[in-house]
Amino acid sequence: MRGLPFSNSTSLFNFYIPVAEYLDKSPIQFGQISTIQSSSTPLSQDCILPSLSLPVNHLLSSAQPVPLPFPISHGTTTLAFIFQGGVLAAADTRSSCAGYVEGPASQKILPIHSHMVSTTSGTSADCALWKRILSRELRLYQLRHGRRLSTSGAAKLLSHMLHPFKGTELCVAAIMCGWDGGEKIEKSVDASLIKTQSSFSSVGGQQHLAKKKMNGSGPRMFYVCSDGTRLQGNLFSVGSGSPYAYSVLDQGVKWELTLDEATSIAREAVYRATHRDAYSGNHVDIYHISSKGWSRRSREDLKEEYYREKERRERGLRQIVTLSEENMKQTKMA
């Protein structure tokens, strides 16, 4: 192995997790080779990529963050909630940058593995990158241990990977929706989460949900943000259209919902948000995660929901006019 670069302690295939001193770099440098000299194992200049003619100073300067040419405004509507049939996730398909609509058919719900999906909100490139990194790590975990990592463990892993980039231009907000089916609870699960699960209220279907979670099986849902935030819940909505979506979800979401009822509520929530929020629109994607894995409904155009809503309003107006006419006739006869 003599004569090869990085023969002491570094290899071309070694990956590292960034720590505090790497926060001034761009997030895309995650997983790449560190060119900063370590105090314990100093590397000479001849030992760093001798086949390249570029100096080390140029390699270090290329990793500095590049200022954005203009401020970027993010807009989207993503939501997910738990019901007796599993987890339902929905999102619109409009991609926007400031006041410009980039694309009408983007994919904002990304499958992680057979029993987990993640909604994405923030910078599209950042969300796609970290989705690939998380999928890779979960696949490696499954190959090493012979079972899938729980949704709680996956959310904790993503939170720990994103936390070093707190304060940078990285923008990722994800709702991780999964089904933990009869597998052992990972050691990485916090004891506080288990205590919280045992203290669930028995109103509606929460008692059944608590029993499933205590056994390590059932639907699970976590919200993870690029600043390291990790929250567990039964209902989340993220994006510029989330306040309008919450107005529908808070009223209609119940544990006893059937799959058709839950799908109708999710579609209506996205429609209400796109009707009021200019950064959301075009189509709606709906994913259902159950014990059999995730399944995707065919993409629906939101203008169809608009026409259905218009028809319902016209039908209601006709009924009101008919009732008023009948009341007038009865008054004249009297």
Phi, psi for 82 (deg, rounded to 5): -105, 135
Active-site residue (options: 10, 35, 41, 76) = 76
Q: Do 105 and 84 touch, CB atoms closer than 8 A?
A: no
Distances (CA, A) of 45 to 51, 52, 206, 254: 12, 11, 61, 63
Quick check: is 76 catalytic? yes
DSSP conformation class of 284: E
Give the residues across from 121 on adjacent strands: 173
User: Rounded to whole angstroms, how far apart are CA atoms 248 and 261?
Assistant: 13
Residue ranges with strand state E in 43-196 = 78-83, 86-92, 95-97, 100-103, 109-113, 116-122, 172-180
The torsion of the CA quartet 189, 191, 193, 194, rounded to 10 degrees, works out to 100
Report the catalytic residues: 76
